[in-house]
Structure 1
Amino acid sequence: MDFERKSLIRAAMEARTFSYAPFSNFYVGAALLTKNGEVYTGCNIENSAYSPTLCAERCAIAKAVSEGKREFLAIAVVGPEDGHTTPCGVCRQVLYEFCDESLVILCGGTEENYMETTLGELLPKGFRL
């Protein structure tokens, strides 16, 4: 799949700066690439009641879907610079709702420190109605 991986990671890194994580101090940004080349970003937004907490990936998906986008090529997920943050189980299922198993997922902390995988590798045999 041909797209600029490092620029998508940079967009996720910028989104991470807007994270609101006073409870975990675990700041995450995401950048979702549509098939038309548009990028929608999101950050994690924690809540003191915990369950209303919104992950960065779901924030980006909600922004894109609410603007009529339904076809995606890739998502970059950026957490701490020293690790490879992957989407949580809920985010994997939400991605699966709108994407096929070939969705490229870039997991990292910086544009030089990331791993590449697919939704199918992270969520084999995902659930669909």
Structure 2
Amino acid sequence: MESSRGFTLIEVMVVIVVVGILAGVSVSIMHGRVNSAKWAEGKAITGTIARALRIHIVEMGDDFANVPTLEQLGFEAGHLDGTYFSGGESGAGNFSWVINSNSPMDFLVTTTAPAGVDSPSQITLDHAGTFTETP
């Protein structure tokens, strides 16, 4: 009997199917990681705004007839612009915030996802430092 070397068509097809499944799974995982990295930028800027709000509240005391603008928080145009998220002019970007006038240290900073950034659609950071995601 003659021994033949090489792979059968079935063996080659099995390898192709396994490689295809692995590629499909890895693309899905990679997409989630990319989206998570984009949101890391948004969360970092949100935290920066929250720190600026805390400082502003301590400096201003209980005088909160109006919500402070980016300029009043010490930021100039472009300071909060990242690759995916934008601070905008006077807070017109992806970020907004509210302060409870009855309890100034009680505030919320909300970040809305820009185009190209998937779920969640927005995150909120409260005065205690807790992030809440809105799908």
- Structure with a larger share of its residues in strand: 1
Name the TM-score, length of structure 2 as normaliser: 0.27
Name the TM-score, length of structure 1 as normaliser: 0.28
Higher normalized contact order (CA 8 Å, seq sep 6+, divided by chain length): 1
